[in-house]
A and B are shown apart, each in its own frame.
Chain A
Amino acid sequence: MSASLTSLQARRLNHEALRRAARRERRGLEALLLPGIALLVCAVLLPIGVMFYLSFIGEDGSFSLENYLRLWTTPVYGEVFKITFRISFFTTIIVAAVGYPLAFVLVHLPGRLQNWALLFVLLPFWTPVLVRTYAWLVLLQDHGLINDGLISLGLISEPFELSHNVTGALIGMVQIMLPFLVLPLFSSMKAIDQNLIAAASNLGATPARAFRDVFFPLSLPGFLAGILMVFVLCLGFYVTPAVLGGGSVIMAAMRIDATVRLYTSWGAASSLGIVLLMITVLLILVATYVGRRAGQGLFR
């Protein structure tokens, strides 16, 4: 009884000092956030705010909904958004289908080999997108290495149409996007305790079952994060679909660029950017919700 009283008194004794220390520490941590917050406000929030405001300014400089009405009534914009989302969707599906097995193999490679393999995943990261895009052109075009090689071997007589169409744009975008999925997925797979898989086997699960019920659900957060990142990055693609797509693959970013050049007010292009941003945010929210639900379902 008396012992607990003394400890209570003792706690009260340094109570103030402890609170002060805690407050100091919290303030210190908050101060560490400041540069990041300042950058976010200056480089992201403010410009988006300005863009949002500008999107309601018409050609004559006054408040107007004309920019949004134009997007609604001029058929090209709906078409371009459709293409943008369709191309981004297919790119993401292919990246996911190629990237998951790749990350799975990577994580199961022995140490030294794993480092080398990771290096090869990272290598393209260090090359500019434009260079990689033109490198694909060298490979894929009608008189490119692949078609010329196959023709000289006598395997085909007419070149495959691998570039200047949707196929070319997809190939280029998939290769450029692959590391964005593989890297987060790899680190999330790496963090999975291998003992859990051993335990599942111990409890009688076949390797397939252990993968389905243990490994896959645990890798899901990294997988979904990677998928979302790839999809969102795809939405803003410009150079690769422009060079490899041959004209028919018109992405939103290209139309925004054209709009900046063709209208005297910034509002015309701003409204395009805002609509793209809104749809993207909406999709992310839905994807996060669905992903969380699916994740819960798997763990149930």
Chain B
Amino acid sequence: MRLLSRHLAAMLFSAAVMAANAIATAQAADVVIVQNGGVTQEAHRKAMWEPAAKALGFTFDEDTSQSWTEGKAQVDSGAVTWDIVSLNMGEVQLAVKADVLTKLPSDIVDRSDFLPGSVNDYCVGNTVFSTNIAYNTKKFGDAGPADFAEFWDVKKFPGKRAMYKSPRGNMEAAALALGHPRSEIYKFLSTEEGRKAALDKIAELKPYAVWFDSGAQSTQLVKDGEVDMIYGWNGRIIAAIDAGAPFKINYKDGLLDVDCYAVLKDAPHVDNAIKFVKEISKAQYVKDMPKYVAYGSPNLKANESYDEKTLARLTTSPQNVKEEYMSDFAFWGQYGTILSEAFDHMLASN
């Protein structure tokens, strides 16, 4: 989901410039919404923001940001120009701890319509993506790695593997490769020995892995045939398949993850923002998202209107979602930071 992270200095500078621009424009619109740019933002604008704004009689402004910390910078400096930001569900706990989000009313959406875990007191899920194994069908036919034990089996499946340069997803995959069942993953990783064993397991793949930093990079690696396998984001893999890459996604043991909308603390239009989040989360809008991008909404009522072809592409379709499991956001809230440091250390040391 991440586009390439930018140089920090450039990030801060552009944040300052954007903030200055936003001050000029924020007053004009009824609500200001921020997404992470590219094809995702375009999909959200066309499927949800524009029709929802029309229904509410709102005008909206949009901005682009790769990180919730830009919103934090606004809250910390007391110059909040954004209302709604999109962040990863795993970052919500951190953002709440940093006191930058507004608590949402409990009736903002009907949680029973949504994928379990995709709505909480501060954030309403807007996109579901999954991290899945995919493999080159020219090299392996239809018999690519069936599970993570096989993904780790470099004798049976020789070749390079693209993996996300982050502990997220890889820790879970390593736990599965070590033979732990899906239901036990986070219990196993909550122990010090478990985390160490998982990191050691990941280290085994270092000679065979190409680590990607951004979604765009993962698409490029698959599209150019630089890797024979990938453990990456479904929408990015489908983008490469749509561009002609002979790859097939294996949904078994895929890791579901959610991006969500939150309202910044001290946002200039808090009431409008809450109304807008409520409106754009409705099935009547989110059902159109797959027209523009191969991602679906956690609002599962949208599934009712899809045909077979659309469902096959969506990680949220009933047949795909039953093979997958949900990321434990509390686990990542607690261990995300130390695991990021331990993971980079594992990569950097020989």
List the interface of chain A (C-beta within 8 A of B): 74-77, 79-80, 83, 130, 137, 141-143, 164, 236, 238-239, 242-243, 246-248, 250, 253-258, 260-266, 269, 273
Contacts and interface: CB of A to CB of B under 8 A. Distances in A.
Contacts of B213: 242-243, 254
A258 B166 CA distance: 10
Interface in B47-93: 67-69, 72, 76, 91
Contacts of A74: 341, 345
B224 A141 contact: yes
B28 interface: no
A190 to B, nearest CB: 32
Interface residues of B, number: 39
Given A76-B341, A257-B8, A247 B211 contact: yes
A250 B226 contact: no
Interface string B5-38: 1111101000000000000000000000000000
Contacts of A79: 344-345, 348-349
B135 to A, nearest CB: 17
A131 to B, nearest CB: 12
Given A130-B4, A142-B226, A238-B6, A264 B94 contact: yes
A76 B224 contact: no
Residue of B11, B213, B342 ringed by the most chain A CB atoms within 10 A: B213
B8 A250 contact: no
B349 A164 contact: no
Contacts of A261: 67-69, 91
22 contacts: A83-B348, A137-B220, A143-B224, A143-B225, A238-B7, A239-B4, A239-B6, A239-B7, A242-B4, A243-B4, A243-B213, A243-B217, A246-B211, A248-B206, A248-B347, A250-B344, A253-B8, A256-B8, A261-B69, A261-B91, A269-B8, A273-B8
Contacts of A238: 5-8
A258 B340 CA distance: 8
B337 A263 contact: yes
B326 interface: no
Interface string B318-350: 000000000000000000110011101101110
B165 interface: yes
Contacts of B97: 264
B264 interface: no
Contact of B209 (A130, A143, A247): A247
B19 to A, nearest CB: 15
Contacts of B345: 74-76, 79
Given A79-B349, A142-B226, A255 B4 contact: no
B347 A262 contact: no
Contact of B337 (A77, A236, A256, A262): A262
A256 B12 CA distance: 12
A160 B139 CA distance: 20
A257 B5 contact: yes
Contacts of B210: 164, 246-247
Contacts of A254: 5, 213
B312 interface: no
Contacts of B67: 260-261
A261 B68 CA distance: 8
B154 interface: no
Given A142-B226, A264-B97, A247 B347 contact: yes
B342 A76 contact: yes
A162 B178 CA distance: 32
In this complex, which of B8, B97, B217 has the most chain A Cβ atoms within 10 angstroms of its Cβ?
B8
B169 to A, nearest CB: 14
B98 interface: yes
A256 B348 CA distance: 15
A64 B64 CA distance: 34
Contacts of B341: 74, 76-77
Interface in B241-261: none
4 closest residue pairs by CB, A with B: A247-B211, A76-B345, A264-B98, A79-B348
A7 to B, nearest CB: 59
A244 to B, nearest CB: 11
Contacts of B98: 264-265
A74 B339 CA distance: 11
A238 B66 CA distance: 16
Given A74-B341, A247-B209, A250-B347, A141 B8 contact: no
Interface string B216-231: 0100100011100000
A160 to B, nearest CB: 14
Given A262-B340, A269-B8, 4 more contacts: A248-B206, A262-B94, A264-B72, A264-B97
Nearest to A260: B69
Contacts of B9: 236
Contact of B226 (A141, A242, A263, A266): A141
A137 B213 CA distance: 15
A221 to B, nearest CB: 28
